[in-house]
Amino acid sequence: MKIPLLRLRRTSLLAFTFYVLLIQSCTSTKDQSAQPLNNDGKPKIVNIINFIRLLEPRDEKITEDVLFETTAKQVQIMKQYKLGGTFLLQYDALMDSRYQELLKGLSADSFEIGAWWEIPQPLVENAGMKWRGRFPWDWHADVGFSTGYTPEEREKLVDVYMKDFREIYGYYPKSVGSWFIDAHTLNYMYQKYGIVASCNCKDQIGTDGYNLWGGYWNQAYYPSTENAYMPAQNEEKQIPVPIFRMLGSDPVRQYDTGIGHTHQGVISLEPVYPESGGDSTWVNWYFQEFVDGECMEYAYVQAGQENSFIWKSVEKGFTIQMPLIAKLRDENKVKVEMLSESGLWFKEHYKVTPATSLTINTDLVREDVKTVWFNSRFYRANLFWENGTLRFRDIHLFNENLPSKYLNERVYSNECFFNTLPLVDGHVWSSPDERAGLSLKAMVNGKAVFVKGGIPEITNSQPGILHVSWPLETLKGTLIAELDERQIKMKIEGNDSDDWYWELTAKTAAELPFTAISSSRVDCEFEAMNYSVKAERGSFLKPSGQVVFRIQPEDNTIILNLDNQQNNEK
């Protein structure tokens, strides 16, 4: 991920990463046989994306020669295994003759040259502005990213970059990546220069001062014209450039990393981390789950590394991952393609963001842990099994009308914040001693207990619906949960009792968004936006004590409507 010294990493953390982006068309008649399939018939897409900086001001040992060597070695290894990919250039590297010579020598059929949208001193000065950074490249959010500039200044920066890129390569870049990017810049790049794909950072809190939390957790989404981090619900309010989530965030462990602290560590596919992306056991586990886990539509993962981490640190992981990716390609289990190819494929298949999932059936560390992330244009949800129990670890709602703080204003601090609308937040609302979550419980012999069960089955037999079947031990029957793009439906088959319920708890000091809890709905406010969740079947209850609320079944069924725009209209 980001720059070596500034990243607030915990190298002692157990590192596992899993990144899956999965797409199967619901809206196109295009033949999907062009995409590699495993036995579930769904495409598995791998982008190898390496991005390039000219210099590293935080360590005098990391010279321009060391950085260039890293990129040259990446090219060499990818050619060795006949793997194509995407190289994204920061402006200072774009203007460097050595990188120009190296990248112009690559086959355009296999390699793509695009833009890495961090803002260095030469770009600012060539756009006629004064540089405010501490170094020729400064990673702070108010200097090194588009959020640090007014909308008019952002357009000037884009125009200079695109002009010089075209003079060097003869065309405008089709792909633009950044840890985070504002909606105004992204839309301007699309409308004036025709970009077709973008990529951004995985969800994280505090790392390098960049906070992205509650978004479309994996795969890709069409962003709102008001907020590049927020998925749009309607075609009219979306920027038609899919944003792919980078770095292969671990679906099991990354979310809980750093609970009780102001920043998270990183557990990812990035080759620099010796316990995850640099470990052969973990990498093989990751790609096994990537190929076999239920994805509903398509699987996607970004491999590769920025050159700031230098070849000495990246070499082991990179040389573990590349031959494995090549092997899976040769077995027709994955397709390796350029980011712009993935963007075009996405746009051909989807008019709006599809519902997808990311599933871990077999964890590398603990047999009792399983999880599935569900994403749609309306919400995301994470079901988490641990010690035989089940809870929603996370539910965040999406609303295209929530503007980013940086839509029209620049940021003045070295931090940035991109958020969606929380309903369940098992990280922010937790402490090391008090874990937040929406847990499945029941009354047994007059006592409230956690419901326990066996091995869940996670499938997608109906288009657009994630089906979860969990055989129960505490109660008679099987929990059936169906998640579609707007709602979650749950019932217990084989048991007519209404003695089960879901219970939301949070740490004592948590700042919660709930403003009112009635039997039919929960009303919330976050970042000055009002939003609601409605019980179409079942009811909410506010008990006394530490419990935030309960959701009780009606005729053995609970249906939650998570289309908060629709709920607010009623």
Express each pLDDT in 102-122 by its tens digit: 999 999 999 999 999 999 999
Q: How many residues does the chain have?
A: 570
Angle between helices 183-193 and 151-169 (to 10 degrees): 40
- As a whole number of angstroms, the distance between CA 18 and CA 245 comes to 12
229 token code pair: 């981090």
Tokens of 287: 């790609």
Give me the CATH code for the 45-248+300-314+335-354 domain, please.
Answer: 3.20.20.510
Question: What is the average pLDDT across 318-322?
Answer: 98
Q: Over 90: is that where the pLDDT of 553 sits?
A: yes
Domain boundaries, the chain: 45-248+300-314+335-354, 359-569
Type of residue at 308 = S
- In angstroms, the Cα distances linking 188 to 62, 195, 342 are 34, 9, 21
Assigned CATH topology for domain 359-569: Beta-galactosidase; Chain A, domain 5 (2.70.98)
Which residue is it, tokens 């970059």? Answer: 161
User: Is residue 474's pLDDT more than 90?
Assistant: yes
Alpha carbon distance 474, 442 (integer Å): 8
Q: Give every CB contact of residue 533 below 8 A, 6+ residues apart in sequence.
A: 397, 423, 521, 522, 524, 560, 561, 562, 564, 567
Q: Among 90-94, 320-324, 494-498, which is the least confidently predicted range?
A: 494-498
Integer CA distances (angstroms), 18 to 39, 268, 286, 509, 548, in order: 20, 7, 5, 32, 32
Q: What is the mean pLDDT of the chain?
A: 92
CA–CA separation, 456 and 453 (whole Å): 8
Distance CA 151, CA 518 (A): 42
Half-sphere exposure of 426 (CA within 13 A, CB side): 21
**Paired tokens of 10:** 């915990």
Using one digit for the tens of pLDDT, what is the confidence trace for 191-220? 999 999 999 999 999 988 999 999 999 999
What mean pLDDT do residues 498-511 have? Answer: 94
What integer pLDDT is reported at residue 37 of this predicted model?
Answer: 52
pLDDT of 9 above 80: no
Confidence of residue 551 (pLDDT cuts 50, 70, 90): very high
Q: Categorize the per-residue pLDDT at 14 as very low, low, confident or very high, splitting at 50, 70 and 90.
A: very low
Backbone angles phi, psi at 106, to 5 degrees: -85, 150
Q: Tell me what pLDDT residue 1 has.
A: 43
Three-state secondary structure of 260-321: CCCCCCCCCCCCCCCCCCCCHHHHHHHHHHHHHCCCCCCEEEEECCCHHHHHHHHHHHHHHH
Written as six digits, the tokens of 568 are: 């607010």
Coil/strand/helix, residue 340 = helix
What are the backbone dihedrals phi and psi of residue 253, each rounded to the nearest 5 degrees, phi first?
-100, -30
Distances (CA, A) of 390 to 364, 434, 441: 19, 16, 9
- The first and second tokens of residue 254, run together, are 């990354």
pLDDT given at position 564: 80
pLDDT given at position 34: 43
The neighbouring-strand residues paired with 199 are 177, 244
Mean pLDDT of 261-272: 93
User: pTM (2 decimals)?
Assistant: 0.92
The contacts of residue 220 (CB under 8 Å, 6+ apart) are: 21, 23, 242, 243, 244, 245, 300, 342, 346, 353
pLDDT at 366: 92
Distances in whole angstroms, Cα of residue 233 to Cα of each of 203, 228, 400, 419: 20, 13, 6, 16
Q: What are the φ and ψ backbone dihedral angles of 521, each rounded to 5 degrees?
A: -160, 160
Q: Quick one: 134 exposed, middle or buried, by C-beta within 10 A (0-12, 13-18, 19+)?
A: exposed
| Tokens representing residue 520 in the block | 């039919």
Pairing, β 227-231 against β 447-450: unpaired
Look at residue 78 in the predicted model and tell me its pLDDT. Answer: 98
- Check: CB of residue 512 under 8 Å from CB of residue 502: no
Distance CA 410, CA 346 (A): 31
Yes or no: say if 523 and 536 are a contact pair by the CB < 8 Å rule.
no
Q: Provide the pLDDT for residue 570.
A: 54
Contact between residue 272 and residue 305 where contact means Cβ atoms under 8 Å apart: yes
User: Smallest Cα–Cα separation from 190: which of 340, 50, 302?
Assistant: 340
pLDDT at 39 (0 to 100) = 59
For residues 140-164, average pLDDT: 97
pLDDT at 173 over 50: yes
Q: Categorize the per-residue pLDDT at 7 as very low, low, confident or very high, splitting at 50, 70 and 90.
A: very low
As a whole number of angstroms, the distance between CA 292 and CA 286 comes to 10
How far is 461 from 467, CA to CA, in rounded Å?
Answer: 8
Give the lowest-confidence range in 38-52, 322-336, 374-388, 453-467: 38-52
